Amino acid sequence: MKLLNIFFCTLVFANTAFADSIKLEDLFSSKSRIEYLIKQERDFGTDNIALKNFLKPIISYSKIYDDESLLIAYDNMLARGFANVYDSANARSTNLYLTAIKKAKNTKDKELEFWTKVNYGFYLYDLHNYTDAFPVFLGLRDLLPQISLKKLPNPDISLRNMAYFFGSIGDAEANMEYLNLARKHAAPQSREMGSILDALGTAYLKLADTVTAFRYFKEVESLSKFNGDEVRLGKALGNQALIYRGKGDFGKAVDLLLEDLVYSERNSSNQNTMYAYILLARIYVDQGKLDLAENAIKRASNYATQKVYLKKSEKEITEVRLQIAVKRQDDHSELLARRRLIQINDSLQLWNSDEKLQQLKWLADKQKYIHRIELGKEQFEKELFKKRAYSIVVVLLLALSISLYFLFNRKLKVRRIIYERRVLGLQMEKYLSDQKLMEANNNLSSFTIYLKEKNEYIANLKDEIETVKQTSFSVIENERGQLQALLESHLMTEDKWSLFKEAFVKEYPLFYNDILRKFPELTESNLRFIFLGKLGLKNNEISNLLGVTEDAVKKAKQRLKKKIGEDRYTVLSSNLKS
């Protein structure tokens, strides 16, 4: 009887503990299990304890089914949950995603690896961190042909998220390709289908095909009403308003946006609410209804200032405020708006500016071009093999001669491709290093790390150039000189010197003012050696950064000593590393 009571109490406790936890039915494949778990995902707001308790049973399920993929799904879902909790990039989410990727690679399951990397890339993209998301999605584009979409969990969502990223950096071809592929794998009446159709409409709108875009947006409106997706319905109405505004039908556009706002605000879709108010304010300005425009833009501003990654939206809001001030002939408000725009534009240079997105697209196009060359080479080899198989002895002998000729040229092409890829990799390393500096707000600590990394890059690049000189790649480098050009691009230019000097003076204002007062005859060239020495850089490191020999650095210091006198140089050098 006592044992029966214990069993009963245990059963009641278990039912209570897991009453609000994720469930898993007895399904046969890892793919179906993961999809079943994802359907149950919920937003717990800022309650991360409730989030962890909800997902905790997945750990037990992985043991029951002896399915390691469920642990990977657990890491992904927990990472996504923490991203919602913090509504920003955070170490917990990042570490969980990277751990999941490592686990997926160890399973040798390419579909699982692909799915996990898409989730990580979309996490970065969703928070507008395009720089870090770029190499992730570039790798996914190369991995996609190697996987089976039938084995991929939720292929429609993964492909749609890839399309979102490439569309954001302006790669219209990839955007359309992945959206149409996602559409083939989405359930016809699903919410995912609504998001895909909405993205297709937006893609056609960017191409100025308003007829096709409007047709897609109407289809999204109908589908959203069918499946009760009010957030998507609001977005579809807002997109239609864009088209009506372009036609000059401001009344219809306003009506659609007001209806959009009802759905967006009711469902706490803050970002969509902000976009709707910005567009509404623009239309009110078009109509000359400046008081209504000002009220709408105030509401939009309440959302834009909440998050760093909405900085670009704050720029749009300030542009509308400038238009209102100009139309009212309010010189004071106009001046404030113009000043704020300058500040925002400067800030955007450290974030995700249009220029940065264009650079990412250029790098993506170059990688795509190299990839196509490789595919073309592989196809050529296959065709050549087929011809050899069906040739007679005489033709075989002739083909052998021809093949030797092509082999030589192919090796040359392969060398060029390898050379190009190596140069591209080094260019990307330099680009990402420069971006990290820009994103670090231009302080001396960041510059010190940056200059140390530069020295490592330069040393490695010099070794690379010396290695190339001893190999068959030397012909290509002599012909193109890209490695040498890249080496020269690492040197401290006037622009980089100005930024460095600004950061240095900000960190050591007393030191700077003191040496200007005591040594007014110092030139900018002298200051370069002094400041770099102040950071503890050795002569060989300074020579690397300035593109001169180590002996030239020593002579420059000797000339400085002679110029200002030995006693004054001793005072100055006491603050420096010799």
pLDDT in tens, 204-221: 999 999 999 999 999 999
Q: What is the distance between the alpha carbons of residues 350 and 391, in angstroms, rounded to a whole number?
A: 61
- Give the pLDDT of residue 153: 94
Residue 209: both structure tokens together? 């095909």
Among 503, 561, 494, residue whose Cα is nearest residue 535: 503
- Give the pLDDT of residue 340: 86
Q: Could you read off the pLDDT of 258-272 as tens digits, one per residue?
A: 999 999 999 988 889
Q: What is the distance between the alpha carbons of residues 39 and 27, in angstroms, rounded to a whole number?
A: 14
More confident residue, 261 or 495: 261
Burial of 421 (0-12, 13-18, 19+ CB in 10 A): middle
Q: Is residue 258 part of a domain?
A: no
Q: What is the distance between the alpha carbons of residues 128 and 531, in angstroms, rounded to a whole number?
A: 36
- Give the pLDDT of residue 103: 95
Among 325, 324, 281, 275, residue whose Cα is nearest residue 304: 275
Residue 478: both structure tokens together? 């002599």
CA distances from 281 to 206, 231, 274, 287, 289 (A): 21, 20, 11, 10, 9
Cβ neighbours, 10 Å, residue 469: 11
Do 513 and 393 lie in one domain? The reply is no
Q: What is the distance between the alpha carbons of residues 76 and 84, in angstroms, rounded to a whole number?
A: 13
- Give the pLDDT of residue 283: 95
Q: Look at the chain and report how many structural domains it folds into.
A: 3
- Domain end position, chosen among 470, 490, 510: 490
Please state the separation of Cα 252 from the chain's center in Å.
Answer: 36
Q: What is the distance between the alpha carbons of residues 541 and 539, in angstroms, rounded to a whole number?
A: 5
Do 524 and 479 lie in one domain? The reply is no
Q: Could you read off the pLDDT of 156-181 as tens digits, one per residue?
A: 999 999 999 998 888 888 999 999 99
- Give the pLDDT of residue 6: 35
Residue with tokens 């170490």: 91
Do 75 and 14 lie in one domain? The reply is yes
- Give the pLDDT of residue 454: 75
Among 59, 63, 152, residue whose Cα is nearest residue 114: 152
Q: Is residue 455 part of a domain?
A: yes
- Domain end position, chosen among 456, 490, 524: 490
- Domain end position, chosen among 448, 474, 490: 490
More confident residue, 420 or 541: 541
Q: What is the pTM of this model?
A: 0.59
Cα angle 440-506-442, degrees, rounded to a multiple of 5: 15
More confident residue, 470 or 38: 38
Do 428 and 538 lie in one domain? The reply is no
- Give the pLDDT of residue 185: 94
Cα within 13 Å of Cα(577), Cβ side: 12
Do 436 and 507 lie in one domain? The reply is no
Q: Per-residue confidence at 429, pLDDT binned at 50, 70, 90?
A: low
- Give the pLDDT of residue 9: 37
Q: Is residue 250 part of a domain?
A: no
Among 153, 184, 178, 152, residue whose Cα is nearest residue 164: 178
Q: Could you read off the pLDDT of 455-468 as tens digits, one per residue?
A: 777 777 777 777 77
Query: Mean pLDDT over residues 441-467, rounded?
Result: 73
Q: Is residue 48 part of a domain?
A: yes
Write the DSSP assignment of 99-116 as a string of letters.
Answer: HHHHHHHHTT-HHHHHHH
Q: Could you read off the pLDDT of 91-114 as tens digits, one per residue?
A: 999 999 999 999 999 999 999 999
- Give the pLDDT of residue 520: 84
More confident residue, 30 or 400: 30
- Give the pLDDT of residue 8: 38
Do 479 and 502 lie in one domain? The reply is no
Q: Is residue 434 part of a domain?
A: yes
Q: Are 270 and 258 in contact (CB under 8 A)?
A: no
Cα within 13 Å of Cα(50), Cβ side: 11
pLDDT, averaged across the chain: 80
Query: Mean pLDDT over residues 545-571, rounded?
Result: 81
Do 409 and 467 lie in one domain? The reply is yes
Q: Is residue 384 part of a domain?
A: yes
Range in 116-120, 138-142, 196-200, 468-472 the model is least confident about = 468-472
Q: How far apart are the first and last CA of the chain?
A: 86
CA distances from 578 to 172, 300, 571 (A): 55, 56, 13
Write the DSSP assignment of 244-283 as a string of letters.
Answer: HHHHT-HHHHHHHHHHHHHHHHHTT-HHHHHHHHHHHHHH
Among 353, 363, 482, residue whose Cα is nearest residue 416: 482
Q: Is residue 29 part of a domain?
A: yes
Residue 189: both structure tokens together? 């009446």
Do 424 and 509 lie in one domain? The reply is no
Do 505 and 538 lie in one domain? The reply is yes
Do 449 and 542 lie in one domain? The reply is no
Q: What is the distance between the alpha carbons of residues 271 and 267, in angstroms, rounded to a whole number?
A: 11
Task: Determine the residue type at 96.
Answer: L
Sign of the CA dihedral with 218 first, then 219, 224, and 225 last: positive
Q: Per-residue confidence at 577, pLDDT binned at 50, 70, 90?
A: very low
- Give the pLDDT of residue 13: 36
- Give the pLDDT of residue 290: 94
Contacts of 2 (CB under 8 A, 6+ apart): none
Q: Are 545 and 451 in contact (CB under 8 A)?
A: yes
More confident residue, 251 or 18: 251
DSSP label of 228 = T
Q: Could you read off the pLDDT of 303-341 as tens digits, one per residue?
A: 776 665 565 678 889 999 999 999 999 999 989 989 888
- Give the pLDDT of residue 374: 53
- Give the pLDDT of residue 485: 74
Do 481 and 553 lie in one domain? The reply is no
Write the DSSP assignment of 304-349 as a string of letters.
Answer: HTT-GGGHHHHHHHHHHHHHHHHHHT-HHHHHHHHHHHHHHHHHHT
Q: What is the distance between the alpha carbons of residues 88 and 65, in angstroms, rounded to a whole number?
A: 34
Among 134, 548, 196, residue whose Cα is nearest residue 362: 134
Nearest-Å Rg of the Cα atoms of the chain is: 30
Cβ neighbours, 10 Å, residue 152: 22
Q: What is the distance between the alpha carbons of residues 538 and 527, in angstroms, rounded to a whole number?
A: 15
Query: Mean pLDDT over residues 175-199, rounded?
Result: 94
Q: Furthest-apart CA pair in the chain: how many Å?
A: 101
Residue with tokens 């050795």: 538
Residue 514: both structure tokens together? 């003191």
Q: Is residue 542 part of a domain?
A: yes
Q: Could you read off the pLDDT of 528-543 as tens digits, one per residue?
A: 878 787 777 888 888 8
- Give the pLDDT of residue 2: 38
CA dihedral 541, 547, 549, 551 (to 10 degrees): -70
Q: Are 205 and 242 in contact (CB under 8 A)?
A: yes
Do 473 and 526 lie in one domain? The reply is no
Residue with tokens 């970002």: 271
- Residue 492 phi, psi (nearest 5): -75, 105
Q: What is the distance between the alpha carbons of residues 340 and 390, in angstroms, rounded to a whole number?
A: 73
Write the DSSP assignment of 376-421 as a string of letters.
Answer: HHHHHHHHHHHHHHT--HHHHHHHHHHHHHHHHHHHHHHHHHHHHH
* Full domain range(s) for residue 421: 361-490
Residue with tokens 């997926």: 104
- Give the pLDDT of residue 34: 92
Dihedral-angle region of residue 492 (phi above 0 means left; psi in -120 to 50 means alpha; beta otherwise): beta
